[in-house]
Structure 1
Amino acid sequence: MKIFEKDDQELLSEEKGFFSKKLQRRNFLQYAGASAAGIALVAAGCKKDDDFSRGLDLGSGDIGILNYAYALEQLEAAFYTQVALTPYTGISSTESGYLTSIRDHEVAHREFFKAALGNSAIPGLQVDFSSINFTDRTSVLGAAKAFEDLGVSAYNGAGYLIKSADYLTLAGKIVSVEARHAALIRDLISNGTFVGSDIIDANALEITRTPIEVLSIAKKYVVTEINASNLPS
C-alpha cells in the first residue's frame, strides 16, 4: 500500500528531471560517471571517537556537501530497507505502507546523490543497527524519529554552505520531503504530535545542526570512519 500518493510521486519525478536537465546545463556531467557497483551497507559494531579529520574524505566545496548528504541518505535508506525486510511484531498494513513508502523515498534520494556525484561519490558506508530492536515497534519508530529529525536539521544546517543554486534548490526539495517523514513518524508514535518543542525554537523555526554535530550523532550507527575536515564552513 502506497500512502504517499500522487503529489509525492510527482515530486520524485520532478527531482529526477531536475538532475538530468540542470546537471547538463551546468556542465556537471564530469561527475556523471556513476559506478556500476552497488552500495554495500553492512551491519557491524565499532566504537569511534569524535575525530572527523581522518577516514573516508567527503571532499570540499559543493561536492563535499553533496557527499555529506549522500552519506545521510545511505544511512536512512539502509534503516528503512531493514524495517521493510523485518517488520516489527504486530505491524499494521497501514504502518507497513507508510514505512515502505518512506523507504522508497530514501532510496530515491540516495540514488539521486549517487548519480549527481558520479566518480566523486564516496563508497557505500558500513552501518551498525545493533542498538535497534527491529522486532519492537517502539524501538523502530524511536529510531525513525531520530533519523528523520537529524536529517532535517542536517539539511537546514548545511544549506547556506551550498554555492550552486541548482544544488540548493534540490536540497530544498529533499528536506521538505524529509520533514513530511518526520511529522508522520511523530504522529505514529503519538497521534497529533507531528512537531514538538524539541525541534523548533521560540520563533517556531526548525533547529539546525552543523555537519560535525550531525556526524557526531550519526556515528553511533556508522562503522565507516568519515573525514569531514575539508567541508566548507
Structure 2
Amino acid sequence: MKTESLLDKADANLGRRSFLRYAAAGMAGAGVLAAGACTKGDPYYDNLGKRQPYDIGPVGDFAILNYAYALEQLEAAFYTQVVANMYTGASADEIAMFKDIRDHEIAHREFFKLALGANAMESLTPDFGAVNFTSKASVVATAQAFEDLGVSAYNGAGYLIKSADYLLIAGKIVSVEARHAAYIRNLANPGSFADGTILDGFGMDKTNTIAGVLKIANGFLKTKISAREYGYTA
C-alpha cells in the first residue's frame, strides 16, 4: 500500500493513533525485512541481529529515518517538559500553542518509531540541564534553536532519501516543523519568523549537514548519536 493513500486515510478523519498504526505498517514491514538481512560481523548489529543503539546505521533510507527519529525524540522530550513546567507568566495562547507543538512532536516521534520497526535506534536520554524551564527567555531560545535546527536537518538530508514514499513523509513533517519555527521565532522576536538568519539569498530555508546537526543535538543528549557512515562519530 502506498504511503500517500495511507496519509489520505489519515486526512479522512482517522484518529492519530490509527494514522500512526496504519501509515507505519508498510514501512515497518520493510524494516523487519532489512533487519533480517543483517549478518554476523556487521558493525551496526550484534550477533543476535539487534541494531547497535546509538548510531543511525548504514547508508540508506533507514539511517535517514533514524536521524529524523532521534531529532523528534529530542523535541518531544523538550516540549513535554515545557508543558509540564510552564514558564512563569505564560499566556493562555502560549500554553495552548506549546501543547499543540508537544502533541505534533510526539506524533512524529511515534510515527518514526513504528515505521522503523526493528531498525529503530534505542530511546535517547535528553539532558536539558542548561535550560531554565521557569524562564520564558530560556525556553523560547531553546525552542527556537531546536526548530531552526530541525528544519535545516530535514532540508539538508532530504536529497539522501531514495524512496519517494519516505521523501513524501519527510516533506510533510518538515512543513509542520517550519510552522513551529515561524511561531517560536515570532514569539521570541516579533517579525523574525522568516528573516535572513534562516533564509538564503533565494528566499529558501538554509540547510545543515548530518554532522553539523548532530554536534548541536548531542549537546542536549546524555546518550550521544553517531553517524559513522556519514562522517560523524560522537
Structure 1 length as normaliser, TM-score? Answer: 0.79
Match of 1:83 in 2: 82
CA gap of 1:83–1:22, structure 2 versus 1, over 3 A, is: closer
Give 1:192 shift.
Answer: 2.4
**Could you give the per-residue CA deviations for residues 120-158 of structure 1, whole angstroms, max 9, x where no partner exists?**
101110111011100000110000000000000000000
Q: Tell me how far apart the structure 1 counterparts of residues 12 and 195 of structure 2 sit (CA, whole Å).
A: 26
Aligned to 2:121: 122
Contact between 2:53 and 2:122, CA under 8 Å: does it hold in 1? Answer: no
Q: Which has the larger radius of gyration?
A: 2
Q: 1:166 to 1:74 in 2, by over 3 A?
A: same
Q: C-alpha separation between the residues in 2 aligned to 1:56 and 1:207?
A: 27
Give, in angstroms, the shift of residue 10 of structure 1: 4.4
Q: Take 1:99 and 1:23, find their aligned partners in 2: how far apart are those partners?
A: 29
Q: In the TM superposition, what is the alpha-carbon distance from 1:216 to its structure 2 partner?
A: 0.8
User: Cα 1:218–1:66, aligned 2, differ >3 Å: closer, same or farther?
Assistant: same
CA deviation vs aligned residue, 1:97-132 (integer Å, no higher than 9, x gap): 000000000000000000000111011101110111
Counterpart code for 1:210: T
Q: Distance in 2 between the 1:14 and 1:154 partners? A: 28
1:142-182 deviations in Å (ceiling 9; x for gaps): 00000000000000000000011100000000000000000
Q: Judging changes above 3 Å, is the alpha-carbon distance between structure 1 residues 13 and 195 closer, same or farther for their aligned structure 2 residues?
A: farther
Structure 1 residue aligned with 2:211? 212
- The amino acid that maps onto 2:154 is Y
Matches within 5 A, 1:32-181: 56-60=54-58, 61-181=60-180
Which shows bigger deviation, 164-173 or 220-229?
A: 220-229
Q: Does 1:29 align with 2:33?
A: no
After superposition, the CA RMSD in angstroms is: 2.7
Q: Flag the 1:137–1:10 CA change in 2: closer, same or farther, 3 A.
A: farther
Task: Give the conservation status (yes or no) of the 8 Å contact 1:55–1:224.
Answer: no
Please give the alpha-carbon distance, in whole angstroms, between the structure 1 residues aligned to 2:21 and 2:166: 9
Aligned mates of 1:76, 1:12 — CA distance in 2:
26
Q: Distance in 2 between matches of 1:211 and 1:205?
A: 19
For residue 17 of structure 1, report the CA deviation from its aligned partner: 4.5
Work out the CA distance in 2 between the residues paired with 1:139 and 1:12.
Answer: 37
8 Å CA contact 1:70–1:113 kept in 2: the answer is: yes
Q: Quickly say closer, same or farther: Cα 1:79–1:217, change in 2 above 3 A.
A: same
Q: Structure 1: which 4+ aligned runs deviate by more than 6 Å?
A: none
- Where in structure 1 are there 5+ consecutive unaligned residues? 1-8, 34-53
Change (3 A) 1:197 1:126: same
**Structure of greater relative contact order (alpha carbons < 8 Å, 6+ residues apart):** 1
The one-letter code of the counterpart of 1:20 is Y
Contact 1:58 1:231 in 2 (8 A): no
Given that residues 20 and 110 in structure 2 are in contact (C-alpha distance below 8 angstroms), is that contact kept between their aligned partners in structure 1?
no
Q: How far apart in 1 are the matches of 2:13 and 2:152?
A: 21
Instruction: Identify, as 1 or 2, the structure richer in helix.
Output: 2
Q: Name the structure 1 match of 2:200.
A: 201
| Aligned residue type for 1:149 | D
Mark the CA change 1:19 to 1:211 in structure 2 (over 3 Å): closer, same or farther: farther
TM-score using structure 2 length: 0.79
